[in-house]
């Protein structure tokens, strides 16, 4: 199974574009096999499968280089330090309590056009979306 880079950006799309213009070459160098973009309530999730084998610590490092949400990456790092090969979470939905019942909230919507835009920015047009 290919390593998966999971990026969380709680910002406007133009900031994500800028990060990929400045640092997206790293993903291209690691060999992108697929790239997905999801819009969330606060920003965007970007999920990238790569060819290069990386351990969990290296994946966390790449996510930090690509300026994924710093709080999320700090928690991922602390989980890694405590448990070793820890989980690297990006959520499809969040559960919360309303009227004493657990309610699930759909949080993100796939945006293939934005994925194609990021691939164009880093110059990799042969990757599946």
pTM (2 d.p.): 0.84
On the question of pLDDT at 5 being above 80, the answer is yes
On the question of pLDDT at 119 being above 50, the answer is yes
Average pLDDT on 93-97 reads 52
Domain locations in the chain?
4-122
Instruction: Report the share of the chain in percent with pLDDT over 70.
Output: 81
Which pLDDT score is estimated for 94?
55
Nearest CA to 120 out of 26, 17, 11 is that of 17
DSSP one-letter string for 58-113: HHHHHHHHTT--HHHHHHHHHHHHHHSS------SEEEEEETTEEEEEE--EE-HH
Query: Where does residue 84 fall: left (phi above 0), alpha (psi -120 to 50 degrees), or beta otherwise?
Result: left
Which pLDDT score is estimated for 102?
53
The model's pLDDT over 34-84, given as tens digits with 9 standing for 90+, comes to 999 999 888 999 999 999 999 988 999 999 999 999 988 988 888 888 887
């Amino acid at each position: 199974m290919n390593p998966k880079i999971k990026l969380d950006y709680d910002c406007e799309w133009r900031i994500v574009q800028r990060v990929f213009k400045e640092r997206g070459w790293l993903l291209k160098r690691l060999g992108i096999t697929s790239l997905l973009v999801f819009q969330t309530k606060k920003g965007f999730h970007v999920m990238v499968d790569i060819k290069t084998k990386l351990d969990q610590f290296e994946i966390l490092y790449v996510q930090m280089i690509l300026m994924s949400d710093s709080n999320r990456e700090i928690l991922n790092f602390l989980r890694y330090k405590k448990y070793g090969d820890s989980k690297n979470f990006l959520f499809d939905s969040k559960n919360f309590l309303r009227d004493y019942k657990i309610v699930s909230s759909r949080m993100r919507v796939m945006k293939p056009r934005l994925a194609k835009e990021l691939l164009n920015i880093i110059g990799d047009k042969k990757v599946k979306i």
